[in-house]
Structure 1
Amino acid sequence: MHLLTDSSLPAAVPELLDTPTMDKLSPPAPFDHPPRILLLYGSLRERSFSRFLTYEAARILNHFGAETRIFDPAGLPMAGSVPDSHPKVVELRELSMWSEGQVWCSPERHGAVTAVFKNQIDWIPLELGAMRPTQGRTLAVMQVCGGSQSFNTVNTLRLLGRWMRMFTIPNQSSVAKAYQEFDDAGRMKASPYYDRLVDVMEELFKFTLLLRGRTDYLTDRYSERKEKAAVDVQRL
């Protein structure tokens, strides 16, 4: 057994270290507006099951009291092919900035997310000046499958969510043989898949409320404080 007798941190800048303590945790922000949830889906088909599942999720969130907005990916150019001032790009980024939480839903295509869905994420930068369109937002991930149940897409969505610095909730939805789970009007039939969808949206709603007003505390990083301090010194 080795005992540490020296607690100094020679490589760290002491004044920039911020020991996490309960007294620094701000109280929950007041419930002065409904949770704002942005929903994205990954298909342009006329009968799109990822869109149907997304709309069903929005109905559940609305029932809980959330304010929801759904982005239509039709007409969004390929990332990098047009200036950032394109109306669809501006719309998507403004919706991401507006949101407190998000729901991502994609079909599984060749074991991964679709190009339609990934293109939306590729248009959302980690930073827009001093603003961060995704950092600190809650996230729920869902997928629809044409065949047997799979989790490849939700796993990829979790990876993307981590990269975008989002808080992805533990629960998730994967709907197998989605063509059997919706009626002609696009409404989801009663089933264990629907029950799971309700569970996921309920959990997202709860996490969004729990993190309200506290994301700045949770996303405050030593490395970024150190980088900012170095920039400030250079400006002097």
Structure 2
Amino acid sequence: MTKIDTLASDLRNVSGEDLAPISTETLLAPDGISHPPRILLLYGSLRERSYSRYLTLEAERLLRAFGADTRVYDPSGLPLPDDADISHPKVAELRDLSAWSEAQVWCSPERHGAMTGVMKSQIDWIPLSVGAIRPTQGKALALMQVSGGSQSFNALNQMRVLGRWMRMVTIPNQSSVPKAYTEFDEDGRMKPSPLYDRVVDVMEELMKFTLLVRGRSDYLVDRYSERKSDRLKSMAAAQAAQDAVE
């Protein structure tokens, strides 16, 4: 009896066939990844003076300083979910950028106590699955929000739920900028402040998490329950095929 079989026996309800040992070798840096971390940034406002866009651009500057390869998606012209085909140019652009990315930044204003429809539409257009592949799983994610009034975390909390639902590795740190109209100058640059320092912290943490998890998403999201389900389905299919022959 192997160590895994013994463990499964001790746990009573666990299938030893579907348990997988965790090897320290698996956690070493993956081979063949030498390009800069690829990070996609999304913002949730179409206003000409958009503070979520300004904050996103500040984040992009920081990520580039940390060595990342970045793309900022412009949501102007993106149709509502299900109001166009995935071949729509803005939809195809967003989905291609999401597939390209190894990490993402989502930045939304808070409107009526929630993330904006512009932000949610972008997230809704990113597919949960393409064939057997889940395009967002295992990607690192950082969250930010801006508010017109006092500091709030409503949009952040909603986006964190969505990140978890999409199997993204949402980093612990986050940025909430209250009274955003006071935090940016006429050129749209964020003024020095503890709020700006927090943005630096968040982008630094995102880079660290991206370097830790990229190239490992298949391993990180490999699940006992899914291995068990796949094995049982294969057994059932094989049995059905055998019964058909007989």
Shared fold (TM-score, shorter chain, > 0.5): yes
Q: How far is 1:129 from its partner?
A: 1.2
Gaps of 5+ in 1: 1-5
Q: Gaps (5+ residues) in structure 2?
A: 1-7, 239-246
TM-score by length of 2: 0.88
Could you say if the C-alpha distance between residues 199 and 32 of structure 1 is closer, same or farther in structure 2, counting changes exceeding 3 Å?
A: same
For 2:181, the aligned partner's letter is Y
Q: 1:228 to 1:158 in 2, by over 3 A?
A: same
* Conserved? CA contact 1:28–1:210, under 8 Å: no
Please state whether the residue corresponding to 1:7 is helix, strand or coil. Answer: helix
Deviations 1:100-137 (A, max 9, x none): 11000000011111111001111112111132221000
How many residues are paired up? Answer: 232
* Structure 1 contact 50–143 (Cα < 8 Å) conserved: yes
Structure with bigger gyration radius: 2
Structure with the larger RCO, 1 or 2 (CA within 8 Å, 6+ apart): 1
SS of 2:198's equivalent?
helix
The answer to whether the Cα contact below 8 Å between 2:184 and 2:191 also exists between their aligned partners in 1 is: yes
- C-alpha displacement at 1:40, in angstroms? 0.5
Q: Are 2:73 and 1:66 aligned?
A: no
Is 1:82 matched with 2:78? no
Q: RMSD of the alignment, in Å?
A: 1.9
SS at match of 2:142: strand
Instruction: Tell me which protein shows more helix as a share of its residues.
Output: 2
Structure 1 residue matching 2:131: 3-state secondary structure: coil
Change in Cα spacing, 1:84 to 1:230, as seen in structure 2 (3 Å) is: farther
Q: Percent identity?
A: 65
Normalised by the length of structure 1, the TM-score is: 0.91
SS in 2 for 1:15: coil
Q: Which residue, 43, 52, 74 being the options, matches 1:41?
A: 43
Letter of the 1:83 partner, please give it. D
* Aligned with residue 105 of structure 2, among 96, 100, 103: 103
8 Å contact from structure 1 (residues 36, 66) kept in 2:
yes
Q: Which runs of 4+ in 1 moved over 6 A?
A: none
Match of 1:173 in 2: 175
